[in-house]
Amino acid sequence: MDRNRLALYSLAHFWVDLSCALLVFRTMAGREDLALCLLLYNFCAFALQMPLGLLADRLDRNGTLAAAGCGLTALAYLPLPAVLAALLAGTGNALFHLGGGIDVLNAGEKRAAALGVFISPGALGLFIGTLWGKGGAPALWLGPAGLLALGGAILFFRRGPSGNSPLELTPKGGYGPLLPLFLVVVLRSYMGMNQTFSWKSQWALALTLALALGKAAGGFAMDRLGPKRASAWSLGLAAALYLACGMPLPGILAVFLFNMTMPVTLWAVARVMPGAKGFTFGLLTFGLFLGWLPSWLGWPNLLTGPAAYAGVSLLSLALLWLPLRGEAVRC
């Protein structure tokens, strides 16, 4: 994939997620309707990607869609009711991720390195946006200003048809591989929302970097080792290290390794339905929403301690094994 295009999309991903977190924590925190705003934002940002993905697959204007997502998120900064701002920001987030994600999947073809690079900055953007939102700095206008600038650049360089495959909702080899891939994402989301470490507050930046770099490294590892071997090594080692996650270094390494399979799942689901990459991208982000929902509902945490974290890693590996079987090793 063209490096300049990948760099633009990756920077925009960082800024979109930063801007959404900044908006939520600066303008909505402390409000009586905060819980409703969070539900609406996350529903639009993640669950809504599935139906919007079908639209993206048919429109074949990925750059325009990504730029529209930046613009819609910028509009959420206007002096609007908080609920409407949450809807705009969430929908803008969804449109950007779909446009950028499909473009990167198309350009990457049979490889996943670019996909890993594209998705990795989001975690860092959320971390910094949350800090800025809670800390009162910098100026709020920087969010929409950056969004409009990056959206304009995407629109300038990526306008016109994108080269999507003709829309086709019938999976290659049947629907069977979709369920385990979906469940892996639900588990990963639930794990991210519920795992706790006694040292987490002192090592928050390191954990965020491990999360982001793990996603980036996962794409390169898959291209080098193949999806099955990369997943086996990363999740197997993550399970072992989670058993010692009472200490910072093993815990940080476990988070790094556990998140290496994120680009693998996105790559694999696109291989199952190559004529509906936007829909499958949205299918997995719907899994992210379902994994987040129990925390919003206040349900008891079912993950308590190192053994549970290790078990989720091994269960994720078992679920990945079926859809990844038969995939050739890459060198």
The closest alpha carbon to 268, from 252, 284, 255, belongs to 284
Q: Roughly how many angstroms between the first and final C-alpha of the chain, as a whole number? A: 18
Residue 314: both structure tokens together: 């091994």
Residue 180: both structure tokens together: 């385990």
> What's the pLDDT score for residue 193?
92
Cα–Cα separations (whole angstroms), residue 325 to 47, 101, 169, 181, 251: 28, 24, 22, 12, 29
The CB density around residue 202, as the number of other CB atoms within 10 Å, is: 11
3-class state of residue 202 by DSSP: coil
Amino acid at 90: G
The CB density around residue 46, as the number of other CB atoms within 10 Å, is: 25
> Which contacts (CB < 8 Å, 24+ apart) does range 197-200 have?
197/245, 197/246, 197/248, 197/251, 198/246, 199/247, 199/248, 199/251
Cα–Cα separations (whole angstroms), residue 43 to 36, 87, 202, 281: 10, 9, 31, 15
Tens of pLDDT, residues 14-49 = 999 999 999 999 999 888 999 999 999 999 999 999
Q: Which helix (H) or strand (E) holds 22?
A: helix 3-23
Q: How far apart are CA 331 and CA 58, in angstroms?
A: 34
> What's the pLDDT score for residue 254?
97
* CB-CB contact of 29 with 134 (8 Å): yes
For 161-199, what is the HEC assignment? Answer: CCCCCCCCCCCCCCCCCHHHHHHHHHHHHHHHHHCCCCC
Under the banding of pLDDT at 50, 70 and 90, the label for residue 253 is very high
284 pLDDT more than 90: yes
Tens of pLDDT, residues 62-98 = 999 999 999 999 999 999 999 999 999 999 999 999 9
137 pLDDT more than 80: no
